[in-house]
């Protein structure tokens, strides 16, 4: 087991959706945590539990500030890097945000690690979007070529490559998790969140981006957390770079999600108005079909406790 009581880790993006759940989980296991977040998309209220723990220290700052990255790294030998612009659609009208908040921020963090020079273990939250429109579904980690269709996916893939290259420069080991769509408590973007807001405004009609047949894998944040915490096992650190898909073993359509969300709100099934001019996709860069092959991480003992439908339902009920 890596670390133990009072061991200190840095969590970037600690006030975000997944980052705050990870922070809480590590604190419950006895870790000391330095949480770093610029609060651009994160919410300090997500850290209510952590803020009451003497083993947690929050630092507001931005990884675009190289010196801030160096200072917050301190002596933390374990780094969980979740800071990013999490909204995939942003890249369609503001690709600069993904370039800076994903790629440049990761480069600055890696430079802080390099300048310190101490042995470091880095856990990076990547994404299923690095695969683009994969011709093999479910998609395994060794699928190629990796041709992202979104700027978000492209910058995340760039982050993976940068992190891998730095393992040649210094005593750094990296674990990369390619995550499916994560849903659940504290989530403030994505299809469930969007449908909830739209149906509260107009319970009779729901606008759906794309043709509604888009089919993707969804994973509850608690299952995602259990996967992330597996890096506390030495098994994950036997080689310089490890890559693992994390998702459910099925997928669900957008129209099915609409029905589940309406039901969670106690509404009759609303009339659905689809907006499709991109071959059925929801926005430029969207991936219409996504499901990950999770055989690799299952062999190490993890598997999701809920399928996509259950994850959507529990997320919707949490938000209702």
- Active site residue: 143, 152, 166, 244, which one? 152
Give SS3 for 238: coil
Cα distance between residue 108 and residue 88, in whole Å: 22
Question: How far, in Å, are 113, 120, 121, 134, 225 from residue 163 at the CA level?
Answer: 11, 12, 11, 23, 22
Question: How far, in Å, are 10, 13, 281 from residue 284 at the CA level?
Answer: 34, 26, 7
Question: Nearest CA to 123 among 244, 35, 21?
Answer: 244
Question: Nearest CA to 195 among 277, 281, 256?
Answer: 256
- CA end-to-end span of the chain: 39
152 is catalytic: yes
Cα distance between residue 287 and residue 280, in whole Å: 10
Q: Which residues are catalytic?
A: 152
């Amino acid at each position: 087991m890596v670390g133990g009581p009072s061991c200190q880790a840095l969590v970037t993006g600690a006030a975000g959706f997944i980052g705050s759940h990870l922070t809480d989980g590590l604190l419950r296991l006895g870790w000391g945590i330095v949480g770093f977040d610029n609060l651009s998309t994160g919410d300090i209220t997500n850290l209510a539990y952590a803020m009451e723990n003497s083993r947690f220290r929050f630092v507001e700052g931005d990884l675009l500030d190289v010196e801030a990255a160096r200072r917050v790294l301190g002596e933390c030998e374990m780094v969980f890097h979740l800071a990013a612009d999490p909204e995939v659609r942003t890249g369609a009208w503001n690709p600069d945000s993904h370039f800076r908040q994903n790629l440049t921020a990761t480069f600055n963090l890696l430079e802080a690690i390099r300048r310190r020079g101490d042995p470091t273990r880095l856990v990076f939250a990547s994404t299923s979007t690095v695969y683009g429109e994969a011709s093999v579904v479910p998609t395994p980690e060794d699928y190629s070529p990796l041709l992202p269709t979104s700027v978000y996916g492209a910058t995340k893939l760039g982050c993976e490559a940068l992190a891998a290259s730095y393992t040649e420069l210094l005593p750094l080991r990296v674990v990369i998790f390619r995550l499916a769509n994560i849903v659940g408590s504290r989530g403030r973007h994505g299809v469930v969140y969007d449908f909830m807001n739209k149906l509260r405004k107009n319970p009779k009609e729901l606008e759906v981006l794309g043709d509604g047949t888009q089919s993707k894998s969804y994973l509850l944040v608690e299952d995602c957390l259990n996967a992330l915490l597996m890096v506390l096992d030495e098994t994950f650190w036997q080689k310089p770079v490890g890559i693992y898909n994390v998702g459910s073993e099925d997928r669900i359509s957008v129209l099915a999600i609409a029905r589940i969300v309406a039901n969670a709100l106690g509404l009759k099934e609303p009339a659905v108005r689809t907006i499709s001019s991109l071959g059925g996709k929801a926005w430029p860069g969207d991936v219409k079909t996504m499901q990950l092959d999770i055989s690799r991480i299952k062999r190490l003992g993890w598997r999701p406790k809920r399928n996509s439908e259950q994850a959507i339902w529990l997320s919707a009920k949490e938000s209702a």
